[in-house]
Amino acid sequence: MGTSHYIPGRDLSGDKFDCQLSFGNMLVGGQWQDVYTASATQNFDIGTRLAIDDRVFRYCYASTAFTTAMKACHFATADLGVNTAAVAYAVGTETIIVLDTATRAADYYKGGYVWIMDLATPLYHMYRIKSSLAAAAADNQVSITLDRPVHTIIPASTFVSIWPNIYSNCSSATSAYASMVAVNLIPVAQYSYFWGQTWGPCFGTAMSALPGAASADRAIFFNSDGALINGASLTTNGAQRAGYLITMTSGGGDQFYMLQLAP
């Protein structure tokens, strides 16, 4: 989705910092946006990856307000399981039509994925989505352009599952049916763009007992509201792992942990 760019800069104190921008681009006319700043205007492609020292961030869109900092947010979009249009696509095709009964803005699916499955062939493959056209609900379809030409024939009316970019609909709403994708460093207003941390040393909001309070309790998990749960406090199977506690905690707990979502 883009190339890597080395960006030297200076923080507010004048000290130099180094960061690496990749897997996305600054938009034409966009402004540099610090990781501690939210913006009502989009400045980068959604999902753009920013590495600063040993921390990694992704450029996100907030579909709800985040009133609390340092809690994880989840991806609030379910998959769309539908068919392609009733035409066959030849090897080398880059643009396909997918049935979709919702109104979609241009590039709604940009940076997302499409999973193509034809049981008769059998054909199974996944492509990243380079762009998508705007579509009205009455169209019952949307045109998507893939990041590379298809490597085999796609029969007419082939079943697909399609997802927009996983950072395009970040929500703070509590949900036991959604996975966390990033941690917001600051409170973020609804419909704003921000850098969500996905990897590296991080500080979290603990749900109840602090992680590491119990002996050999090093793994950390996410509660359904994005707060941290220590392993000893888990009450359900299948909780999403957040990472592991960094600090030695003999005699007490801590919230300084190694976040392990997307490197």
Each domain of the chain, given as residue ranges in start order, spans: 5-73+169-201, 80-163
Contact residues for 219 (Cβ-Cβ < 8 A; gap 6+)? 231, 241, 243, 244, 245
What does the pLDDT read at residue 12?
47
Distance CA 48, CA 20 (A): 11
One-character DSSP codes across 25-45: -BPTT-----TT--BSS--B-
For the four alpha carbons of 186, 128, 160 and 83, in that order, the dihedral sign comes to positive
> From first to last of its 263 residues, what are the pLDDT tens digits of the chain?
444 444 545 454 545 567 888 878 899 999 999 999 999 999 999 999 999 999 999 999 999 999 999 999 999 999 999 999 999 999 999 999 999 999 999 999 999 999 999 877 788 899 999 999 999 999 999 999 999 999 989 999 999 999 999 999 999 999 999 999 999 999 999 999 999 999 999 999 988 788 888 888 899 999 999 999 988 888 878 899 999 999 998 878 899 999 999 99
The pLDDT assigned to 2 comes to 45
User: Cα–Cα distance between 55 and 259 in angstroms, integer?
Assistant: 9
Q: pLDDT tens across 10-38, in order?
A: 454 545 567 888 878 899 999 999 999 99
Output the pLDDT for position 212: 87
116-119 long-range Cβ contacts below 8 angstroms, 24+ apart: 116/84, 116/150, 116/154, 116/158, 116/159, 116/160, 117/158, 117/159, 117/160, 117/161, 118/154, 118/155, 118/158, 118/159
